[in-house]
A and B are shown apart, each in its own frame.
Chain A
């Protein structure tokens, strides 16, 4: 499915997008190995805060979720779970080749191959792993996409909820999280 890029926002949504694009909170969830390049991006050398971005601990107050690399099915359940807890508007940035087509884990029994079948991805960063410069560039792109109204994956997720849910259940069987006490 292709995400359409029509701009049919009303004036208030445009104003809202303009402001929210300049204060993005990033959800603090290291889903994969690309997360090791996030500390340099966040701290003094590359300094994400120049773009008005900062880390946020809870999904309910975060705007952007970073899928930093491969996703095992066990993590994907948590990712979907916490993606659905985020408030609209919400964006997803996917890191690395693993999220595009599986990367080096193309034949693994535990990792998924194509992320955008399960949750809508607004922006991909190529490479394994993306350098902090690439991550910063992606964030700048995301900001301009939000301002132009092109980052509407969350709306797409609402409109095609059944399609996404069916894909999720086909691969995962259930998206419920159990505890590990096995009692």
Chain B
């Protein structure tokens, strides 16, 4: 398996403008792609057998003031996963949809918009709420959102004379 993955990685490296690549396990590798080249990369990967989009998600890199978009593709023939990563700006985040390459992306993008506030141009339905209803705060999966504060503000807690809250080695959970 390692062999076919090396072949694929070499092939990908030749064709695409890969900023950085990383071998994660013997069935999985990750590539960093420029923001502008993602569509080309996904189209190419789809044409060489990565036909299934497993998930689109986002990581909030608050220290670098960036969002990292993650596209994970699955190659069923060879049993390989590829993780395509790209960085976008954290202030006023927006990106272009990949629905025309992978139609299954529609709801993943809608979820990323709901949880991180990234807008996807070209996917009109991504602006609608999906899992949440009447949300009135910043998108909940951003790192600067504190669910405890939100929960204390919105939902009443049961009064109790004893509060059991674990404290392990000084880290308050």
In the complex, what's the smallest C-beta–C-beta distance from A172 to chain B, in angstroms?
A: 8
Chain A: residues with Cβ within 8 Å of the partner, total of 23
CA distance A73 to B155 in the complex (A): 10
Chain B: residues with Cβ within 8 Å of the partner, total of 19
Interface centre among B134, B151, B155 (most CB of A within 10 A): B155
Interface residue ranges of B119-169 to A (CB < 8 Å): 128, 131-134, 136-137, 140, 145, 147-148, 150-151, 154-158, 160
Per DSSP, chain B at the interface is loop
In the complex, what's the smallest C-beta–C-beta distance from B150 to chain A, in angstroms?
A: 5
**CB distance B157 to A101 under 8 Å?**
yes
Q: Are A173 and B134 also in contact (CB < 8 A) when A107-B147, A107-B148, A182-B128 are?
A: yes
CA distance A174 to B135 in the complex (A): 12
CA distance A112 to B153 in the complex (A): 11
Quick one: which of B128, B145, B156 contacts A171, CB cutoff 8 A? B156
Report chain A residues within 8 Å CB of B137.
109
Taking CB as reference atom, which chain B residue is nearest A114? Answer: B158
Taking CB as reference atom, which chain B residue is nearest A106? Answer: B151
**CB distance A171 to B154 under 8 Å?**
yes
**CB distance A114 to B156 under 8 Å?**
yes
CA distance A13 to B154 in the complex (A): 39
**Chain A residues proximal to chain B, CB less than 8 Å:** 73-74, 77, 100-102, 106-114, 117, 167, 170-174, 182
